[in-house]
Chains A and B, each alone.
Chain A
Amino acid sequence: MKSASPLERLSSEDLDAIAHEFDALRDEVRADLGARDAAYIRRIIAVQRALELAGRGTLLFSRHRPALVGGTALLTVAKVLENMEIGHNVMHGQWDWMRDPAIHSSSWEWDAASTARSWKRSHNFQHHTYTNVVGKDRDLGYSAMRVDPDQPWHPVYLLQPVYGILMAATFEWGIALYDMELDAVRRGERPWSEARAELKAFARKAVRQLGKDYVVFPLLSGRSARNTLLASVTANVARNVWVHTIVFMGHIPEGAETFTEEQFERESRGGWYVRQLLGSCNLDGSPLFHLMTGNLSYQIEHHLFPDIPTKRYAEIAPRVKVICERYGLSYSSGPLGRQYRSVAKKILRLSLPGGGPERVQVTPPERVPVPEPLSTAEPLASAA
């Protein structure tokens, strides 16, 4: 039998020691950031812009089939890099230490429907603070899906396998609406004036985003207009599905724990680290795969150190695992295919009532832990 959730098992001395170890790791990496990191992000930005230019240029001739296929592929890859390895990470402040106003969280705007401002509040503050706390982390199922048995069931969830797919295809627009927290305005928790300003900014941005992809570039393509429009739709939908997939792999597969508000409220710094660690799942893959996920495949490292440049996650992952092993904490990781099946199964199962076998009724302090981590590939993870 497994012991209770590590959050209950670890003493406050252990938690303080964990906090100390992770703080030290963070300080060490921060102190080491320098010219090689700066060169990395500039190179990625240059590559991304070159890909985008090449893709857009090729698509001007998209009435020829090879140009359509090649241009669409280039544009899709450019859009994925722009959102993931660049936009998401720059807006996290991972590159603020350079003090370069052109690569700074306060000035960056990305190629997505959400305005940087709304997204930063919703993501950097809310999701990264309340990670996997049921009832507080709005990202857990994005308020639309039931992904944890502790979320009460509602008949609408019967349809979640269907609208889940629609949500994937239009992910950036869903996120844009979600980031503005109109539901909080309706409940009176957010002033309407604030939301109105954000809606205006969103509308302005949406016009430009839609104009660029669906009007300006098709028109510039002349006789290739229809195919260029098709390419824009394809690239945006493909990116949406990819981003949605990677995001859902971060906190939902079997092996990711959820937490109660009560646990959150009496949490120490060490407890915060442990929650980030246990609430996140990594994906295994090649360096190119990690790059295309914006290194969100290192979801655990990202949640421990959201403002450390992602390029460093691969370097520190072995050391994070060693710390996990020392305190008997699971480090959940798996290949994309297996994690995807795990998430799909969960979404299907939880569309029906129940879903937490033998533990639905458990009261918060005695929350039964999740099953053994799936990551048999990770020798250190089996320590729990």
Chain B
Amino acid sequence: MGAAATSRRPGARRRLLDAATWLTTPLLPDDYLGFVNPLWSSRELRGRVVAVIPETSDSATVVLRPGRDWLGHEAGQYVRLSVEIDGVRHHRSYSLTSAPQADDGCIAVTVKAVAAGSVSAQLVHCTAPGTIVGLEQAGGSFRLGVPIPDRLLFITAGSGITPVMGMLRALAGSSPDAVLIHIERTREEVIFGAELRRLAASGRLRLHEWHTDRLGRPTPADLAELSVDWLQRETFACGPGALLDDLQSHFEAAGAADRLRVERFRTPLVAAGEGGRVSFIRSGRVVDAEGSTPLLQAGEAAGALLPSGCRMGNCHTCVGRLRSGRVCDLRTGEVHGTPGDMIQTCVSAAAGPVEIFL
């Protein structure tokens, strides 16, 4: 189908649906169409699980067919999924590991189960094909960019391989000079181990596996030794915060901070502040929150429907205007806030009573 046809069709569909709301008001036609096919909803973007493919003993790739409003993604980006566990929706972001514009129109995320009962465990161990999950459009600035750099260095640890796997798959057609240093506890635990070694064997990737059970944790100097020309490369790193912090200092010391791009899965949260009563003005919810609980989490636990995005202080989707009180930035421990400030609820906890326009 030509581009013109695809761009015209949604317009016609939208007009038809608008007309149909005269039949379904106060509901939307979607509320009925959703019974026929949940992916037809334009109220909410959804995806259907096509397959769950085990990668290692505690990780799996979840292949999804997104609804038709999915706009596609770039390699390295993440998608936010919402998954229902025991009747309650949970939101988590996962890196997309499928190459963009796959022929079958499907996308994939690869998930490592972190703890029993968690969203990740549910996805890895208890998700059947056919399950419907909520989706948001892909996000994140951890991308190869255009044009794709000629010389690439990837440094990953654990499930940090996932966004980079998406990049490596996207590079399949071209043949840049790519080096991957991957850190994992053992050889067996390497997610995508077989595929990475195949890529290396075919000469498309120079692969260095660093197994910490034998070698211990590497220092940035260790890694630089594995890729001596690291200063001539564009580096993409993803892994635990400590590793990324070390790398950032190392690149800064070499005056090459701009050659390093990092993706952080989780911002380390520092418990601080005394907590307090939080009033979500628009939602009409009041909750007593602890000093270590983000406002977002406290509000959701109280049933408020709050805007949220990355949940690690990056995307500013969750911000709300402060009416009164002060909050503690869980990343830094800094207590701040004056009325009118826009507060990132996902990384701010109450420091005394707080009122926020959300």
Contacts and interface: CB of A to CB of B under 8 A. Distances in A.
Interface stretch (B62-70, B83-91, B151-159): B83-91
A34 B26 contact: no
A93 B303 CA distance: 8
A175 B283 CA distance: 23
A42 to B, nearest CB: 10
Contact of B22 (A46, A106, A208): A208
Contacts of A106: 283, 305
A362 B32 CA distance: 57
In the complex, which range does the number of interface residues on chain B fall in? 20 to 34
Nearest to B90: A99
A54 interface: no
B87 A34 contact: yes
Interface string B87-100: 11110000000000
Given A49-B35, A101-B44, A101-B305, A110 B26 contact: yes
A56 B23 CA distance: 10
Nearest to B87: A38
B334 interface: no
| Interface secondary structure of A, over-half rule | helix
A96 interface: yes
B8 interface: no
A311 to B, nearest CB: 12
A99 B307 CA distance: 12
A53 B32 contact: yes
A49 B44 contact: no
Interface stretch (A4-12, A209-217, A345-353): A209-217
Contacts of B90: 99
A100 interface: yes
B174 interface: no
Contact of A46 (B35, B86, B303): B35
A109 B88 CA distance: 21
In the complex, which range does the number of interface residues on chain A fall in? 20 to 34
Given A109-B26, A208-B26, A212-B25, A99 B32 contact: no
B168 to A, nearest CB: 35
A214 B68 CA distance: 34
A302 interface: no
B300 interface: yes
A106 B307 CA distance: 12
Interface in B21-37: 21-23, 25-27, 31-32, 35
A111 B26 contact: yes
B53 to A, nearest CB: 26
Given A46-B35, A49-B32, A217-B23, A98 B305 contact: no
A99 B25 contact: no
Given A35-B86, A307-B303, 16 more contacts: A38-B84, A46-B35, A97-B87, A97-B303, A98-B88, A102-B44, A106-B305, A107-B305, A109-B27, A110-B26, A205-B26, A208-B21, A211-B25, A212-B23, A212-B25, A217-B23
17 contacts: A33-B87, A34-B87, A38-B88, A97-B87, A98-B88, A99-B303, A99-B305, A101-B305, A102-B31, A106-B305, A110-B26, A208-B26, A211-B22, A211-B25, A216-B22, A217-B23, A220-B23
